[in-house]
Structure 1
Amino acid sequence: MTTPLPVVALIVYPNFSPFHFSVPYLVFNAEVAEGRLFDLKIVSPGARSLAAERAMTVHPDGGLELADLADIVVVPGWHDLDTPPEPELGAALARAHARGAHVVGLCYGAYVIAYAGLLDGKRASTHWMAERDFSQRFPRVKLDMNALYVDEDRLITSAGTGAGLDCCLYLVRAYYGPKIANKVARTMVIPPHREGGQAQFIEQPVAASTEDSRVNRLLDYLRANLGKQHSIDELAARAATSRRTFTRHFQKATGMTLGDWLVNERLQQSRELLETTSIPVERISELAGFQTPLSLRQHFKKRFHVSPRDWRRTFGPKSTAEQG
């Protein structure tokens, strides 16, 4: 007797993103030599045909009743972060989770699961650009911005578009093992596996000036001299304040201790050098003010969850990709 294929309900919504829709569509509609892996159903509330952002309309296989039969329910993004899902969709997600299905929110799809109340008290991930907004809207959710995807209690959420692929392949591995998941990845010409715990590659904002002119001048000095070692006593003297006053003013102005601020700036400079130059990591550690290459590697790995070498491989000029 043939074992039924796992059923995937792929939810579409008004003005959906064709790209976010296509990621789970391609993965869960894939066919390998062993045959088809999933029974993919395209679902919309009320079984309505829905238009994408432009130039594309999807005619679903049915309404939310199909989600009640699914082993995996996927929400591929969301069109408006201010708009909660229709009550029927939220209820369908809750029913799916209650009966043991995986409920997946890719990128901004995490908002839909959060609006449904399913993520309260649980870890989750979403696109880094929404970190502040998501945290304010859903304070009971433990947002993890150092994750490509998070699986807690069969509630799976992912970061941006590339992480959506990793998240879907993670589910293929969960159902069929790494060999089949790697076959699917190869047919899509993408890397077979990235762990969910890898950091999102977040573009750090330009450091803002503070309202304290003395601290601003000091920050300019420090940025121009990151390669040097700095003590609180030296900097307090430069700012013409006591050590205690300097420490208080610096913390109030930047929201960080001097040590944390220096590490943050040194990591940012290290990233820029890795991305734009062929300078060896040993020299970068000197220029950025890390006392040893080991110190740079440890701080870099702790912050970005990848090594400087891997960062350069991903973001550096092609001619320098194998260096570092």
Structure 2
Amino acid sequence: MTTDRIRLLNDVQTMVSTICPDVDTTKLALRMEEILSNYNTSWRTHEQLSNDIPEKATLFLSSMKIEGLSEITLEDYESELRLFAVHCSKAVSQITTFDIRNYLASLDGIMASTVGKKLSVLKSFFGWLVREEVLLRDPTKKVKIPKKPKRLPRSLSVEELEIVRESCATLRERALVEVMYSTGCRLSEIANLKISDINMQSMSTRVVGKGDVERHVYLSYKSLYHLRKYLDKRADDCEYLFVSVRKPIRQLSNASIQREIRIIEGRADISKKITPHVLRHTFAQLSTDAGIDLSDLQQLLGHSNPATTLTYAMVSEERKQQAHKRYHVQ
């Protein structure tokens, strides 16, 4: 019997013994020898096995799309799996736990939360391959997601928020800041808003958040005032709420909105970084400080998990100072 045939026989015996521990290995070996005598067998090295990660990733993403994952999530998954395929050029059946750990260890200079995000994508991918019976085992199963350091969400104080407002130089900038703060929306939700989504009478708008879940958020009198001023000055027929200045007039992308906020940050010159997410946290934190019910805040923010909203239940320094002055009378 050739070396390659012996190797195949050993591999099959190991696999069957793993699945059926009570199998008679002697009878199995004899039967396998009878079967293999009818075939020519040759061992293929890891280098000879093709990298089928992109192919399997395409099938995985199609399945996730059918299950209702948002386009943004699918794009993130596709990007992460493409990077992994470049680093680990193997067939999925040959990928080991060591390969997963080696890939994550190669990601120098990134936060633990980013490593966790990349690992979560890989866990979803390989978990799906096992469920679909493409693989017998999940190489990510023994790899634990790194713990994230617990930090209070960054937010602006009332005074800092006013400085940001006063730092806006155009009608679009002011309307953008006011709508983002008033609604507490995510960046992508703001970018996808259309003029027709705004109900001026009820001072509300409909947004589609993570998982394509629809919810209503609300505009303050101040945000509605500045939004109307911005819309009244527009002379285009673009359907989106926030659009470019230069022609052709089109929807402001996520990156364009982020750049707009960075320009405002440069003028504001405060110690805290200003981003769309900071404005969302500011809405949440100032609402909590004002006494909003956390279940109401969960609905307004579009959190599927109540534990995410509970982060804002941590009392701010300002509230602790006010409580101390109110109750510490001696």
- Calculate the TM-score normalised by the size of structure 2: 0.27
Larger fraction in helix: 2
Larger fraction in strand: 1
Report the structure number with the largest CA radius of gyration: 2
- Calculate the TM-score normalised by the size of structure 1: 0.28
